[in-house]
Amino acid sequence: MTAALRLGTRGSALAMAQSQQFADSLTAATGRAVELVPIVTAGDRSSEPVARLGVGVFVSALRDALIDGQIDFAVHSYKDLPTAGDARLHIAAVPVREDPRDALISRDGRTLAELPPGSRIGTGALRRIAQLHALGLQLEVAPIRGNVDTRLARVRGPEADLDAIILARAGLSRLGRLDEITETLDPMLMLPAPAQGALAIECRADDSDTAELLALLDHPPTRAAVTAERALMATLEAGCSAPVAAFAVLAEGEPTESGDSTEEIYLRGAVISPDGSSDLRRSRTGTPAEAAEIGKALAAELLDLGADSILGQPARHSDPGTQEIGSTE
């Protein structure tokens, strides 16, 4: 009997849910059994904000276990991965992406535009805080942290103290909690984080057998979109807690002379100051094969416009301890 593949995952409800969903898909595609192996990461153990802990706090322990042979592959929320690669590891699959948009959950069913001035809206992500300020809706932003249920209790529980919160739609979807959503936010209002909603399935670079199995669930359009978004972030030298947003989609491009249709990536990127006073937004298109170059070129354009000075600004309108701990989205 072939041994079960050992899948390393964080132990949070969301991480376990998305890992189990991938395990089920892999078993259905290959017939191989998969065993989930929960691993505690530095980010799970600490109450410090992620910005102080450094890049990769939710993935380092998983990667160490993978390199040491304790697990056969790991499932990461792609946005948690450092942009710098590791020659010992290989991202064998990027599955079909969940909806990457942000979602508003309000106490009384009001949309973002319907919230009156002074409403208290909870989020721990500097990217969201910056975009909320840029909208000029005169909302009060309150720091939140903790798992999904803890955050939902701040707006829906008996001791609710917020008028609304913003979470990633992808996480709510994977937990079967889409009915909690009041409004899915248009990217024109709230551009997502780079790679939000996408998973990275990682194995050892020298494990060709596992890589071949995992590759059956790779989704090239998602991989291309995420490659463009992360190339932008890497070129800006920004981490996942920076006020950087990016969203790439693949669409049918102009037909060729032979009449064949082509695919294009349309990438939007933004760098927003923490107080919302500076809001740089640009877009760029190209082919999927050019995904990384598109992201780098768009980042260079944003840098020419002064993005580096924005990224160097302190987060005056957010508590430095507000980065959400215990959530992969």
Alpha helices in the chain (DSSP H): 13-30, 42-45, 50-53, 60-67, 126-135, 148-156, 169-174, 208-214, 220-235, 291-304, 307-311
Q: Which residue of the set 24, 44, 72, 80 is catalytic?
A: 80
Contacts of 57 (CB under 8 A, 6+ apart): 41, 42, 43, 46, 50
User: Greatest CA separation found in the chain?
Assistant: 64
Provide the CA 165 distance to its chain's centre, in angstroms.
17
User: DSSP 3-state assignment of 225?
Assistant: helix
Determine what percent of the chain falls in helix, strand and coil, rounding each to the nearest 5.
35, 20, 45
Query: Three-class SS string for 114-131?
Result: CCCCCCEEECCCHHHHHH
> How many residues are there in the chain?
329
**Distance from C-alpha of 14 to C-alpha of 26, rounded to nearest angstrom:** 18
**Distance from C-alpha of 78 to C-alpha of 195, rounded to nearest angstrom:** 6
Q: Is 80 annotated in the active site? A: yes
Provide the CA 149 distance to its chain's centre, in angstroms.
19
Query: Three-class SS string for 143-186?
Result: CCCCCHHHHHHHHHCCCCCCCEEEEEHHHHHHCCCHHHCCEECC
User: DSSP 3-state assignment of 323?
Assistant: coil
Catalytic residue list: 80
